[in-house]
């Protein structure tokens, strides 16, 4: 009787030719030749996910919500994107001081920052200048540049 069973792989074959073909491709010198698994695709996918998450957290950290510091000052950094303030919607809490910084991407009349309802009208010459105020009432209020070209809204909760 001719053997058609591979002891190493625990597989049956129809005939001895199938077993011989299997052994010649899989078992050279009696050892199992395993396929090298390609992890390149999974590695690339994982790397892409990490890069996207990194960009998301770094680039979109100015989501419009104020960062509350230990001394209860709400800090917001505003930049300029597509000829307007970014973020152009900001959320802060009522009764807690707010500190707005215009970063170096903000230029021209956009550096003159105004929130009329809170009496804020300040020119910020550089990113080291801070625009500070304490919102006294809840609601949504407009902010704008000196010429009214750049606009946004601040929501006080």
3 state SS for 5-72: EECCCCEECCCHHHHHHHHHHHCHHHCCCCCCCCCHHHHHHHHHHHHHHHHHHHHCCCCCECEECCCC
- pLDDT for 30: 54
Cβ atoms 71, 96 nearer than 8 A? no
Average pLDDT, rounded, for the chain: 82
Model confidence, pTM: 0.57
The residue that leads in pLDDT, 10 or 120, is 120
CATH topology of domain 67-156: Immunoglobulin-like (2.60.40)
Q: Where exactly does CATH 2.60.40.420 map onto the chain?
A: 67-156
70-93 mean pLDDT: 90
Q: What is the pLDDT of residue 76?
A: 94
Dihedral, 135, 137, 141, 147 alpha carbons, nearest 10 = -50
pLDDT for position 106: 94
Please tell me the distance from the alpha carbon of residue 24 to that of residue 119, in angstroms, as a whole number: 86
| pLDDT-based confidence at residue 48 (cuts at 50, 70, 90) | confident
Residues 132-157 have a mean pLDDT of: 95
């Amino acid at each position: 009787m001719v053997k058609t069973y591979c002891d190493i792989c625990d597989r049956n074959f129809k005939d001895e030719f199938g077993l011989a073909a299997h052994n010649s491709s899989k078992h050279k010198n009696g050892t199992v030749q395993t396929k090298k698994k390609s992890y390149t695709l999974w590695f690339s996918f994982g790397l892409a996910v990490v890069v996207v998450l990194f960009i998301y957290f770094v680039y979109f950290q100015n989501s419009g919500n104020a960062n509350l510091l230990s001394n209860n000052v709400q800090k917001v950094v505003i930049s300029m994107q597509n000829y307007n303030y970014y973020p152009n919607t900001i959320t802060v809490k009522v009764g807690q001081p707010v500190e707005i910084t215009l970063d170096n991407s903000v230029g021209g009349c956009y550096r003159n920052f105004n929130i009329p309802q809170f009496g804020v009208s300040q020119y910020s010459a550089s990113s080291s200048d801070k625009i500070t105020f304490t919102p006294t009432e809840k609601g949504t209020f407009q902010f704008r540049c000196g010429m009214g070209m750049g606009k946004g809204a601040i929501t006080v909760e």
